[in-house]
Structure 1
Amino acid sequence: MFRLERGVTGFRSGREPDLPPVAARTFRGACHEAARAADGTVEQVTESAYPRNFHSAVIRAPSGRLTVLCNDSYPWVAFAEGVTGDLDPKAFADPPSWAGTFTGAGFVVMSRRLLASPLDAVDTGALGTAERLQIDSWRPPNVGETVFNSWD
């Protein structure tokens, strides 16, 4: 069973320690490697900024254009189609053939199936109190909208 780790939502109580961030530079480097593997290019990289808890990059390859999302607390990546601003939960896509480049760089590639899973289908035991309060407030219907969000 997949486990959502403490801090993955981007929220924590004042008593909980900060998580080391996934550096945008590390993500950017992995995106450029992936683009080379896909015989494509990186069109843009956007670093996480409040309220977004994820970095994103657009990769254009001969097979099409995909947005790569990376949680800013955990090296978890997902793929989406047509994302330019806020994430549309219906936009999550299956990982492309070149997604293994991210695994080789130390990232966990999340499947479309996992992203679409309801929260009761994964282990949420490690989430903190502040995160549970946010989940109760925002009521995300799936893992993807919990791991990659713009809650404020």
Structure 2
Amino acid sequence: MQNDEILKPGITGFTRYPDKFDEQDYKEFEMYLYHALRLKRGKVISKELLVNNKSFFTYLIKINQNQYYLLLNSTYPLLAFATNVDYSGIEFIDPIDLFDTNLLSPYKILRKELLNKLINMSEIKRLRDYEIKNIRYWNPGTIGEVIFNYWD
């Protein structure tokens, strides 16, 4: 997946009138998630919806005694896996074998290499002016920090 396919208006979770970006239907996503976890004998330990100005939904899952965070962007059907998620940062990992590729459409799982790629200001020119203003203010270092953020 190319950066310009990801860094599109609304990706930061910020919106202003007259823009109206749809919020992800997390209940629909949970149908995929719970089905996949049932097949792997896993479970959801906890979930955190959109609170505290986050731009993503967070699911702590457990499979074979290992715990992972699964993140869903609030605007686009983009997913990421992580081992640590808090205000100090997110430690992204490559996707674990959880989803059957046929089951997952329309969701896209982002790889660690892309998420940890340094952000280039020329890559954000397609975003809305208020998103660019927030990016300049919060100064994220990586693409992952733009897509999955705690900005307020």
Q: TM-score range by the shorter chain?
A: 0.7 to 0.9
| 1-structure distance, mates of 2:89, 2:131 | 21
| 2-structure distance, mates of 1:107, 1:5 | 16
| 2-structure distance, mates of 1:146, 1:125 | 13
Give the direction of change, closer, same or farther, for the CA distance of 1:42–1:105 in structure 2 (3 Å limit). farther
The 4+ residue runs of structure 1 with deviation greater than 3 A are 99-103
SS at match of 1:82: strand
SS at match of 2:45: strand
**Structure 1 residues 64-73 or 123-132, which shifts more?**
123-132
Find 1:33's aligned residue among 35, 38, 44. 35
Cα distance, 1:18 vs. partner? 0.8
- Name 1:69's counterpart in structure 2: 71
TM-score by length of 2: 0.87
Cα distance, 1:33 vs. partner? 2.1
Percent of residue pairs bearing the same amino acid type: 25
Unaligned runs of 5+ in 1: none
Matches within 5 A, 1:54-65: 54-62=56-64, 64-65=66-67
Cα RMSD over matched residues? Answer: 2.2
SS at match of 1:97: coil
Bigger share in strand: 2
2:144 corresponds to 1:144: yes
Question: What is the identity, as a one-letter code, of the residue corresponding to 2:119?
Answer: L
TM-score by length of 1: 0.87
2:17 corresponds to 1:11: no
Contact 1:13 1:128 in 2 (8 A): no
| 1-structure distance, mates of 2:83, 2:102 | 18
Number of aligned residue pairs: 149
Unaligned runs of 5+ in 2: none
Give the direction of change, closer, same or farther, for the CA distance of 1:60–1:143 in structure 2 (3 Å limit). same
